[in-house]
Chains A and B, each alone.
Chain A
Amino acid sequence: MNTSLHELGLLATAAALAKKEVSAVELATALLDRAAQVEPKLNSLTWQERDVVLAAAREADTARAKGDTRPWLGVPLAVKDVLSVNGQPCTAGSKMLRNYVAPYDATVIARLRAAGCVFVARTNTDEFAMGGSTATSCFGPTRNPWSPARVPGGSSGGSAAAVAARLAPAALGTDTSGSIRQPAAFCGVTGFKPTYGRVSRQGCVANASSLDQIGPLARSVEDAAALYQAIAGVDPLDSTTSPRPVGGVLAAAQQARDLKGLKLGVPREYFIAELAPELAQLTRAAIDQCAALGAEIVEVSLPHVSASLPCYAVLGSAEASASLARYDGMRYGLRVDAPELMEMYDRTRAAGFGDEVKRRLLFGTLVLTSRYHADFYLRAQKVRTLIRQDFLQAFTACDALLGPVTLTPPPRLDAAPDSASARQWGDYCTAGVNLAGICALSVPCGFTADGLPAGLHVVGPAFQDELVLRIGAAYQHATDWHQRAPTGLE
């Protein structure tokens, strides 16, 4: 069994551990060996220490031997390098935090730790989660497991690549404008961005706080639902979390077999000229599959989709500029010494932040100055209202939306994925979801002729997370795209 332990998904891993078919140490060893084999090609992890991981796994095995039956005991997870795990580095892919070691657990980590999880690796990210390629990390770019010349997407590209390459059964990521769903689509895994307010961000390195949300990347919707259910729910340490009960999301996903009685809307604005014909075709085929499962398909309109990217560029950068103000070289992180305080700030931040982060920091600062505030920042907030209203209007005609996650397959790493054109188109289908605060899922829905994965976007109203996961689970029950694995990584 040992040779294929890394193939087990999240729930399968938990079940194998519970039945004592495998020990946590055996599992961890298999994943560590797998990583040693494929990481030279992928660079999806920013930290993994064999001794630390094995010690945690041994602890889980000892607890089980003493009668501990916690459901996630010994289950290995990878964590995006923006979420604090006590005692592990938390770098956000930035020179600024290159030597930072988290002194506490993020709320999501505390919940998973209490359930018995073993945190086996930290995954690469665009610096401060700002990017769509994982190429802006200070650890260098991560490669796409399906085609190492291409990007895995981002910013949770390390998590998506690690899950696709079988370095962990599942991982946590964060999504500010598409950073879970876009890499999930590019790497052929399942990624879920929960409703804003569903998952606590306490202990998460902030990018843009009115948009950021933590969510799972996994090999199936059921695995993603299980991980989501374990981290979701109100947290007194994050005042934006909702007290609404999370419910039995996993059970609902596990029971999903068809889509009868559901009306699913297809926004015509997603099928624009910039959408690669192959992806349009794969998306249409997936929508047909949903119809075959019993859903009624209706066309809907989101008139302000094209405004979502400039809207995000303004609001995301403005919020990021505020989030980054804390990096002052004083209490943690890099410091470049200078005789005067202000000069110390200026030099520290110049040395600690990378190019893309500086660009957003400057732009965010600019649109918040009195000269530009009304014309850009305030206007973007008004456009955000319209974008949200579009979704609310669409959901009066249907239960959820279907469409593509990305406009193109993963670009080549040398094609400057964070160029102006990426800014213009990169998160076209995904950013509106964050601006509206709703939930969305990316599920694998096929491959291009070149063997590159594509994702189906399932978008639901706020707090209809269970519905979205149910739709994705029914789709996966009828398809096997999510079971394909990249080859030739060894």
Chain B
Amino acid sequence: MNPAEKSDPVDVRYVAGLARLALTDAEAAAYQHDLAQMLAFAAQLRQVDVANVPPLQVLTEAQSAWREDVPAPGLSREAALQNAPLVRHGQFVAPKVVE
């Protein structure tokens, strides 16, 4: 039995947690339905014979790209902070993360 059969519904709350997305109950129900639909659509890929086919992960020819190691100015502090939701003492402010 394939792991993604309909009989085994998607745990939308678990996925939303991974995606860091708060959902209302109504949204959770709607996306639960949509995700099942999208999985069914994507399951068409099972009809393609991919035995011994390597995955395509990199399109470019470049192996690794190196920039010249020369100093260049970055954003000024003012420019870097101009879009910040909350700034104090010239720094980004985050909610408390330690007890």
Q: Which residues of A contact B (CB under 8 A)?
A: 99-101, 103-104, 196-197, 210, 236-237, 239-240, 242-243, 304, 306-307, 309-311, 313-314, 317, 321, 325, 328-335, 337-347, 349-350, 353, 358-359, 361-363, 365-367, 369, 371-372, 375-376, 378-386, 388, 420, 423-424, 435, 437
Contact = CB atoms under 8 A, between A and B. Distances in A.
B60 A196 contact: yes
B41 A359 contact: no
A341 B85 contact: no
Contact of A350 (B23, B35, B57, B85): B23
Given A210-B59, A358-B27, A437-B60, 11 more contacts: A101-B83, A196-B60, A236-B68, A307-B48, A338-B95, A345-B20, A350-B22, A358-B31, A362-B15, A363-B38, A383-B50
B84 A332 contact: yes
A424 B15 CA distance: 23
27 contacts: A196-B59, A197-B62, A236-B68, A242-B60, A307-B47, A310-B41, A310-B42, A313-B38, A313-B41, A330-B92, A331-B84, A340-B95, A349-B20, A349-B22, A353-B21, A359-B34, A362-B12, A363-B39, A365-B19, A366-B15, A371-B4, A372-B39, A375-B3, A375-B4, A376-B42, A381-B55, A383-B48
B60 A197 contact: yes
Interface in B11-33: 12, 15-16, 18-23, 27, 31
Max count, chain A CB within 10 A of own CB: residue among B23, B61, B83: B83
Interface residues of B, number: 55
Nearest to A317: B38
Contacts of B94: 330, 341
B21 A420 contact: no
B88 to A, nearest CB: 13
Contacts of B42: 310, 313-314, 367, 376, 380
A145 B31 CA distance: 34
B75 A103 contact: yes
Contact of B67 (A236, A350, A376): A236
Task: List 4 tightest A-B contacts by C-beta distance, closest first.
Answer: A381-B55, A335-B85, A332-B83, A239-B65
Given A236-B67, A240-B62, A384-B56, A307 B44 contact: yes
Nearest to A340: B95
B41 A375 contact: no
Nearest to A357: B21
A342 B38 CA distance: 28
Contact of B20 (A313, A342, A369): A342
Contact of A383 (B27, B45, B79): B45
Contacts of A347: 22
Contact of B35 (A335, A343, A362, A380): A362
A341 B95 contact: yes
A385 to B, nearest CB: 4
Contacts of A350: 21-23
Nearest to B31: A362
B40 to A, nearest CB: 10
A86 B48 CA distance: 46
